[in-house]
Amino acid sequence: MSSTQLKKYDLSDTIIEIRFKSDLPQATLGYFHKAFLEIIKVFPDFKFIENAQILNPIPNMANMPVLDQLTYEDKGIRIAITPFTIHFNSIGEYKGWDIYFPKIKKVLEKLHDTGIILAYNRVGVRYITEFKHKNVLDEIKGTIKIEGISNTNLKATQIKTSYQDDGFRINLNIANEFSRTNAEKQSEIFSFIDFDVQSNCQMTDLKDFFNLINITKAKQKDSFYKLVPEQSN
C-alpha cells in the first residue's frame, strides 16, 4: 500500500514479528537495550517506553537487568522485544513499505551485531485492514451464502481460517459490522480483514533473512488483493 491511502479502507496495524534463537534468554533484553543506545544515535526520535518490568539483575553483569519486555517508539514505529521475539508496528498513518522496512532493517542490524541472535526461525507479516461503516462482505471477491440470508443482512459476523499456500502459513480473520465506542465515546460500526502470513525458517545470514521478510510481505499483499479488489489511489 503506498503512502496515498485507499479511499474505502485503512490499515490499523502493520505488524512484523521476528522469532529468533539465543543461548542467553535471560540476558537478551539487557544486551538489546544497550544496542538500542546506538540505534538512537541513528534515529534520535526513538525513545524507550518505561513500561517493562525489571526483575533481578544478572549476577556479574553490571547494567544488564533482566526484563520482561522492552518497548521503543518514534514518530512512525513501535518496537516491542521479548527474550525470543521482536515485534514491529507502525504508528499513525502508514507511510508505506519503502519507509517502514529500512527502519526494521536498521534495528535488526544493530540487534544482530550483539552476537546473541544465533538464528532466525520465523517471520510473520500481519496487516489488519479496517473498513469503517462498511459491510466488508460486500467488498471481497466471492460471496458467503447462507440460504435465505444475503450479505447485507449479516451483522456481527466473524470468519476465521488457516491454510497453507506456497509454503506459507496464512491465518485469515474477517470481522463484519461489529459495534464499538470510539475516542469521542460515540458508537460506530466497523469491519476488518486480518491477514497473518508466516514463514518458518532456520537462517543465520541476515541478508537472506531480509529477503525472506520481503517475500513474506509480498505474499501478504498478494493474498489481500486476491480477496479484495485493488482500488485506484
User: 125 is written with which cell numbers?
Assistant: 507479516
Contact of 141 with 10, CB cutoff 8 Å: no
Of the chain, the percentage scoring pLDDT greater than 90 comes to 41
pLDDT band at 60 (very low <50, low <70, confident <90, very high): very low
Q: Do residue 212 and residue 129 come from a single domain? A: yes
Q: Identify the burial level of 216 via C-beta atoms within 10 angstroms of its C-beta, where 0-12 means exposed, 13-18 middle and 19 or more buried.
A: buried
Do both 113 and 58 map to the same domain? yes
One domain, residues 220 and 141: yes
Distance CA 153, CA 208 (A): 47
Q: Which residues constitute the domain of residue 17?
A: 1-21+123-227
Tell which of 64, 88, 117 closes a domain: 117
15 with 67, same domain: the answer is no
Condensed to tens digits (0 to 9), the pLDDT of residues 111-157 reads: 999 888 999 999 999 999 998 877 888 888 876 666 766 666 677 88
Answer with the one of 117, 144, 173 that is the final residue of a domain: 117
pLDDT at 61: 40
Calpha distance 1→7 (Å, rounded) = 12
Q: Which of 64-73, 98-107, 193-202, 222-231 has the lowest mean pLDDT?
A: 64-73
If asked whether residues 80 and 106 sit together in one domain, one would say yes
Q: Rounded to two decimals, what is the model's pTM?
A: 0.83
- Interval 64-105: pLDDT, tens: 444 567 888 888 899 988 888 999 999 888 889 999 999 999
Domain assignment present for 232: no
- Tell me the C-alpha distance between 150 and 134, whole Å: 15
Clarify whether residues 109 and 15 are in a common domain.
no
pLDDT of res. 33: 82
- Same domain? For 188 and 133 the reply is yes
Confidence of residue 2 (pLDDT cuts 50, 70, 90): very low
pLDDT at 8: 53
What's phi and psi for 143, nearest 5 deg?
Answer: -135, 155
Residue 233 inside a domain? The answer is no
Domain count, the chain: 2
Confidence of residue 206 (pLDDT cuts 50, 70, 90): very high
Q: What's the chain's average pLDDT?
A: 82
Residue-level pLDDT at 211:
98
73 assigned to some structural domain:
yes
| Confidence category of residue 53, pLDDT binned at 50, 70, 90 | very low
- Identify which has the larger pLDDT, 37 or 53: 37
37 and 13 within one domain: no
Q: Where a domain ends, among 117, 149, 181? A: 117
Ranked by mean pLDDT, which of 43-47, 48-52, 129-133, 151-155 comes out on top? 129-133
Q: What is the pLDDT of residue 26?
A: 65
Contact 66, 29 (CB under 8 A): yes
